[in-house]
Amino acid sequence: MRQILTTTCIFLLATALYSQTISVGAAVKDITPDPILPVSGGVGTPQRAHIRKGNLTVRAMVIVRDTTRVAIVGIDNLGWPARLGDESRKLIPDIPPKNILIGATHTHSAPDAYGFPDKNGESTVNREYLAYCIQQIAAAVNEALENARPATLKIAVGEAKGKIAYNYYAPQLYDPRCGVIQAISSESNLVIGTLVNYAIHPEVIGPGQNILSPDLCGPLYERIEKKVGGVAIFMNGAQGGMVTADNRRPGGNESNTWKECQRIGHLLADEALRIVEPATPDQQPALSITSHTTRFPVTSPLMRQLMDAASYGIRIGTEYYVETEIARIDIGAAQILTIPGEALPNIGYYLKRKMNTDFPFLFGLTNDAYGYILTKEDYDSFKRYEYVTNTSLGEQTGDILINTCIDLLHNQNP
């Protein structure tokens, strides 16, 4: 009897310990349009593309602990509307919709996903292509979940050094920190996936060269996967106003070539791997997620016009609103907040400072991409900010975002 009890206790203890571990899976799916479609760098007429440099992809990492399942998805596009993300969520039966985070890399050399009107008020969006992307997002998440296996996590945040990014409006006003989450198989000790979180506009090529491309993100993926294996994922940060790739050359010129995309993408990949390499693996990282549906008033005339043209958002009389999910995710020592647009660096710094962790992550352009996000102090205050003001939802957006995030950090119900 004593032997039976001892064996039972060992089994129960092993089961309890196993339940405290996490499982991670990752997958990648190609979304390169064939034939090549026009590319969009924002509001305005999409530009015809004749050349392809690199493939567009959607990349997913799924993390499971006990009954909690979280999917993190990066898609090579300028921005990915929530309504398209919701169509993918319907095709993912085994993960709660609110636990599926879909972020855009913000490449300026991919097809339009928003249906921005041209000068004649017409949309050139290719709905067949968007339907294909919806299917591929779901396929990537479902495959990643199916392939999930016990893993440890290495989590690190550090300054990425070298000529990678700068602020076009004020060169030093940007966040050089790079966050990395790397999942390693407990069974084979091989890398399952490496997530890189860094604030930068992938617009080395831009929409004006008739090139379809993931921009610097493509070389970043290739470099990481060649060096350590697994699937590489890029999630952008607070890169608004105007944190962009540092492709400056002497004399005020810029290098807008695929070679420059490779230089920057490879350098960022190398720095991310350098930052995460010495991190101690977490054998039993905690996992939790909470989110809140937040409503933003839309006061910008341009954004109201786009809402009318693209038929999204909420209209109550003469008032315009948009709603979006803002989430807080805790993965081991890492704390993550999602941002539904392009927050300016000061907002990013403030939110990271309020996080109770040495490993703060911000996932920009995630679950939606509602333009630039400024504080009321910055809104329409400087001529330099005229563009980001016009392409923001309005003066209240920054404060609403900050207050919602702070409430989520305090585990309160906003």
Over residues 261-280, the pLDDT tens digits come to: 999 999 999 999 999 999 99
In the predicted model, is pLDDT for residue 3 greater than 70?
Answer: no
* Side-chain-facing half-sphere of 25: CA atoms under 13 Å: 18
How much is the average pLDDT of 175-201?
A: 98
**Model pTM?**
0.94
pLDDT at 303: 87
What gap in Å lies between CA 57 and CA 232, rounded to an integer?
Answer: 11
pLDDT at 7: 46
In the predicted model, is pLDDT for residue 99 greater than 70?
Answer: yes
| Structure tokens given for 64 | 């499971």
Over residues 120-143, the pLDDT tens digits come to: 666 778 999 999 999 999 999 999
Q: Is-contact 190 230, C-beta < 8 A?
A: yes
Over residues 270-307, the pLDDT tens digits come to: 999 999 999 999 999 999 999 999 999 999 998 888 88
How much is the average pLDDT of 142-164?
A: 98
322: β partners:
296
In the predicted model, is pLDDT for residue 12 greater than 60?
Answer: no
In the predicted model, is pLDDT for residue 185 greater than 80?
Answer: yes
In the predicted model, is pLDDT for residue 412 greater than 80?
Answer: no
| % of the chain surpassing 90 pLDDT | 82
Query: Looking at per-residue confidence, does 84 or 308 come out higher?
Result: 84
pLDDT at 29: 98
pLDDT at 211: 97
What gap in Å lies between CA 97 and CA 317, rounded to an integer?
Answer: 30
Handedness of CA 398, 400, 406, 411 (dihedral sign): negative
In the predicted model, is pLDDT for residue 31 greater than 60?
Answer: yes
Q: Which of 53, 168, 72 is nearest to 110 (CA)?
A: 53
Q: Is-contact 153 179, C-beta < 8 A?
A: no
Q: Is-contact 370 391, C-beta < 8 A?
A: no
